[in-house]
Homo-oligomer: A and B are copies of this chain.
Amino acid sequence: MRWSNYFIPTQKEKPVDAKIPSHQLMVRSGMIKQESAGIYSWLPLGLKVLRNIENIIREEQIKAGAIEILMPTLQSSDLWNESGRYDGYGEEMLRITDRQNRKLIYGPTNEEQVTEIFRKYIKSYKSLPLNLFHIQWKFRDEVRPRFGVMRGREFLMKDSYSFDLDEDSAKASYYKMFIAYLKTFKRMGLNAVPVSAESGPIGGNLSHEFSIIANTGESEIFCDKNLLNIDISKKDCNSDDEISKIVEEYLGFYSATDEKHDKVSFDKSVEVDNQVSGRGIEVGHIFSFGDKYSKPMKALVVNADGKSSNVYMGSYGIGVSRLVAAIIESFNDESGIIWPISVAPFKVNIINLKNSDAKCSEKSMEIHNLLEGLGIETIFDDRDESAGKKFSDADLIGIPIQLIIGPRELKNGNVELKFRKTNKKEILSFDNAIDQIKINVLKG
């Protein structure tokens, strides 16, 4: 993609209302534009990252056996009256009246809606276990939306819902998602900590938050350092047994949110040197809540003995749009964003130092076409701007690999390669540069 044919409205100034790095950097790099309080447009660069994150989540959900559907944004209030949450949910739920005076709500979550789908179609235990997920915009009417997309009102969420015949099977479904979540975050370069949590308005007796430790986190979390050292990407998780063993390994270490934290037990079970406490950004939350919805909403299946029983359910959420901000909070420096390859909007940023030099422009375009041909998404900064402006914009938008083309090196058949993560530059021949790019994009 040629920068001059694209739309990346970068800005040098920090927006005055943006208090945390991710919010500042998303505005400065032209990723988002606020439209109302807590409501954002996603500009091209932001949307690309959002889609990359969404796709990683989708792939891991499907690998874990979940099936994708798409429920609408607006729901009838009837369902929420059935579950008893219509009155209880509070002012965060956006309530709407249509032209026929029917009461609708903009879904803040979908337990009721998915239970309605389940009870309409599924009648027998033979169809279980079942896990349905969707990735859809939600709305929560926060009193104080803030920190950009970190705590927006209209936000993109992935939510899955599991249905099982009994408690053991429900636990296996919960564990499956537990592992899928860790693998999902790891693919984005994030070491998420599963933290034992309160279940809040969703309900249930088993619940974990997945948090990223970052200075700007909204709440405090406490955990055993060993939790951070488990590398989920190296674990085999192919059977229920393998999954169970690994989850039990995680659960063996202390971890708790502020509300659940118990200092006595923390001190007893974790050596002082291993005690980690820090601010956490919640990027996922999973719940197992038995028949909390299936009972009032009569979601029943016939079991092997011919008897009806309420299904055991769980729900599992990932904040897709929030993750964009959480990843930036984890990966940035004073010059801008540092995207992990897996979610980067482009993998390579070609910087043409001298547009007026025909050879530079030709070579830039040639390498651009070569990389795109290899399936490596590339942005080519062909703007009539100074080298300084191109450098600072490149650092700001944080494409992992910068390929710098100028008359001096070109004469010797060379280009300069800069890795945004280390900010180290290397002068390489064309072929070596392409090889380096291929290797780095492949390893992610």
Which A residues are within 8 Å of any B CB, using their own CB? 5-7, 9, 30, 33, 35-37, 39-44, 47, 50, 65, 67-76, 91-92, 94, 96, 98-100, 102, 104, 106, 113, 116-117, 120-121, 130, 132, 137, 139, 141, 143, 154
Contact = CB atoms under 8 A, between A and B. Distances in A.
Contacts of A132: 7
Given A44-B68, A69-B41, A7 B74 contact: no
B99 A5 contact: no
13 contacts: A6-B67, A7-B67, A33-B117, A33-B120, A35-B71, A37-B102, A41-B113, A42-B70, A47-B70, A72-B154, A74-B139, A94-B99, A98-B141
A99 B143 contact: yes
A41 B120 CA distance: 13
A47 B6 CA distance: 30
Main secondary structure of the interface of A (DSSP, over half): mixed
Contacts of A47: 68-70
A132 B94 CA distance: 29
A44 B41 CA distance: 28
A104 B7 contact: no
Instruction: Give the most central of A6, A47, A69, A91: most B CB within 10 Å.
Output: A69
A57 B94 CA distance: 32
Contacts of A67: 6-7, 44
Contacts of A113: 35, 41
Task: Please give me the 7 A-B residue pairs with the lowest Cβ-Cβ distance, nearest first.
Answer: A9-B121, A42-B70, A36-B76, A91-B99, A41-B71, A39-B72, A99-B141
Contact of A43 (B69, B73, B137): B69
Contacts of A137: 72-73, 137
Contacts of A100: 37
A36 B76 CA distance: 6
Nearest to A110: B41
Contacts of A91: 99
